Amino acid sequence: MIRDSSGKGNAMQKKRKLSHDVSGLRSRAETDLKNRPHARHVEVAEIKPNDIRCLLHELQVHQIELEMQNAELLEARDRTDALLEKYTDLYDFAPVGFFFLDEQGRILEANLTGATLFAVERSRLINRLFSLFVVTPCRSIFLDFLAQTFEGAAGNNCEIKLLKEDGTPFWACLHGSSAVSRNASPKGCRLAVSDITTLKQAKEAQRLLENLSVSNEALKKEIAQRQAVEESLRKSERDQRLLLDRSRLMQEELRGLSHCILQTKEEERKRISRELHDGITQTLVGINVHLEALTRDTTLTPKMLRQKIIRTQRLVEKSVEIVHRFARELRPTSLDDLGLIITLHSYLNDFMKQMGIYVHFTAFTEVEHLNSDQRTALFRIAQQALTNVAQHAHASQVKVAIRKCRETVHVEIADNGKSFEVEQILNAKKNKRLGLIGMRERAEMVGGTFMIESKTGKGTTIHVQIPFNSKTQENALP
């Protein structure tokens, strides 16, 4: 059992208090003696000497003092027994184990809780080394802790793993303080031991839970990233399929367009060949016949010769006109020599004469600042648009307007003929939309855009926009 020096101090204080109360105790005893019947009887009988009476009085007083001291001691013993029982309950059944160790670490005293911690009877703990109940890896920590405690370190504590009697390990928290044993020698220390296995397990569970939570967050992020990657891959796969389908469709369209272009070229060659055969060839043959007749006929008068030469000249002029017409259709030289406005104006006049369709034409002069490719593209688009009007629109008039819109050149070709379904025509057979595709391609080749509007009762309008920068184009001119 642990002895507390404070108990000895209390006992000394009680002794000093009793010595101070001796005089008061004697006076109380004398008063009590006078009040007793036999005491009054002694006072009446005065047959004995004075010294005997005094001695008898002293004995009676001391007897009463002893009786009173005995009563006080009995009361103090009862209080001490009650306090001892209360202290023993508090000590033995405390929630932590209390041990008193000597300098060698032997257990001198232990409470019941301490014995329960090691699952051994308290009597078997006495004089056993506390280090025997410490697991081997923690013994050096315990010895350092014990040495610091004997040196008087305040609030010294440590956490180590201990062993029960049957070898079961458990975690414990040790709080030590230097103390003196009951006999003041040898020197010892008080040790309070708390079982913190549950706390350690809770901390470990909390740590594992935190690690698991971190792992779960990382796993969630990884899952989200993988899902995003999978979605991206699926989208990429869909896009690739769409691109592949579009590529196949474009290949089919390109193959069809190539076929249409070859067919168109072949038809154009047939037309040119027919025109050359029916026009220029026959004219040249006629010229040759007239010239041969002139060389053979020697009887011609000057007047007749002049008439035949005039007819031959007319045939030559006709041939030249046909050649010029073919040249204009293939590539008008005026587009490079005179510019876009004059070339378009000349073409539109010929168009009105041939087709009987009135054309209203407006343009701004700065359009001539466009480069050759841009002017050619605009001329060919207008040429193809008017060809489509003549073949399909059944219109009576056409408006061709070239105007500047901010930094672009806007070409608008509108007719009052019959309308058509744009999407249906664009999705029709290739040879039926070759002209539209050609116009769109020419506009895109010079960085422009192409759009068609066709509404019932309002005819068809073609919009073409190409970039225009007057300063840049002016500086580019020679």
pTM: 0.44
Q: What tens digit of pLDDT does each residue of 315-366 get?
A: 777 777 777 776 666 667 778 788 899 989 988 998 999 899 999 999 999 9
Determine if residue 231 is left, alpha or beta; phi over 0 gives left, psi from -120 to 50 gives alpha, anything else beta: alpha
Q: How far apart are CA 321 and CA 254, in angstroms?
A: 37
Q: How far apart are CA 62 and CA 40, in angstroms?
A: 17
Question: Could you tell me the residue ranges of all domains in the chain?
Answer: 5-92, 97-195, 337-476
Instruction: Output the furthest CA–CA distance in the chain (Å, rounded).
Output: 228
Q: Which of 99, 154, 156 is nearest to 131 (CA)?
A: 99
Residues 153 and 175: beta-carbon distance below 8 Å:
no
pLDDT band of residue 426 (cuts 50, 70, 90) is low
Confidence at residue 362, expressed as pLDDT on a 0 to 100 scale: 94
Q: What tens digit of pLDDT does each residue of 38-72 get?
A: 544 444 444 455 767 777 778 888 888 888 888 88
Q: What's the CATH fold of domain 337-476?
A: Heat Shock Protein 90 (3.30.565)
User: CATH assignment of 97-195, given 3.40.50.1950, 3.40.50.11740, 3.30.450.20, 3.40.50.20?
Assistant: 3.30.450.20
**What is the token pair recorded at 132?**
């025997």
Confidence at residue 476, expressed as pLDDT on a 0 to 100 scale: 36
Query: Is the four-CA dihedral 380, 385, 391, 394 of positive or negative sign?
Result: negative
**What is the token pair recorded at 374?**
């841009």
Region of poorest pLDDT, from 296-310, 323-337, 424-438: 424-438
Q: How far apart are CA 154 and CA 133, in angstroms?
A: 24
Confidence at residue 449, expressed as pLDDT on a 0 to 100 scale: 93
Q: What tens digit of pLDDT does each residue of 70-94 get?
A: 888 888 888 887 777 777 777 788 8
Region of poorest pLDDT, from 157-161, 174-178, 340-344, 437-441: 437-441
Decide if pLDDT at 460 tops 50.
Answer: yes
Q: Which of 370, 333, 395 is nearest to 464 (CA)?
A: 370
